[in-house]
Amino acid sequence: MNWLAIRAIYLFEMNRIRRNLSQSVLAPIISTVLYFVVFGAAIGNRITEMDGISYGAFIVPGLVMLTVLTQSISNASFAIYFPRFTGTIYELLSAPVSYAEILLGYVGAAATKSLVLATIIMITATFFVPMNIQHPVWMIVFLVLTALTFSLFGFIIGVWADSFESLQIVPLLIVTPLAFLGGSFYSIHMLPPFWHTVSLFNPVVYLVSGFRWSFYGSADVSPGVSLGMTFVMLLICLAIVAWIFKTGYRLRN
């Protein structure tokens, strides 16, 4: 494993992120504050508690997951699409760097940024609501697995996309709606039986539920099932990426 090559790709991507700190860091913080103002204050006045947890505290894990999902996809997809767009991807592919090393560099940088933002959001949340993380180790496990999974998913989107507009199609039309309908701001137990059953087909439900359980010990789905579903999604993304590198899909043509 050429760790110098991985480090070079990783640092290049992290430097790109640092050059856009206002967009990379300030925007998520402002969005978090707005979510607390709209959901925590306005709706929180009508819904004081959810599963025995104050509504403001209840939405924190959902906010973190929403940010991790969207930012992981956004950063990884742009990171691999831009060299394809400029043509520099051919220089990278012809360099003495393996596909695994390329993947580790790009996905590692995207996941790192998502984890940093998740930490910032949780720190910001402490200014609005008291937080008690009951299972900190499992919280880190769910967070890291989710960041890696959706960074891989973003990498797939970046390879598949044929324009900058295409990069936004899946996150805007599929991932964001699934995140909002995945129990980020409510418990799926509140839904009628039919819609509760439908929600169980939404993979984001398992991510949010498992992550919320690590905070408050309360979950819509068994933590074991949530962890299993997270691993399944990770393995599916790894299988697709392996196929992309094996066939050269949209990388060499």
Q: How does pLDDT run across 26-41, given as a tens digit for each residue?
A: 777 787 778 777 766 6
Confidence of residue 198 (pLDDT cuts 50, 70, 90): very high
Q: How does pLDDT run across 123-182, given as a tens digit for each residue?
A: 888 888 888 899 999 999 999 999 999 999 999 999 999 888 888 898 888 998 999 899
pTM attached to this predicted model: 0.91
CA distance 77 to 187: 31
Give the mean pLDDT of 14-32.
Answer: 71
CA distance 206 to 96: 39
Phi first, then psi: what are they for 134, rounded to 5°?
Answer: -75, -35
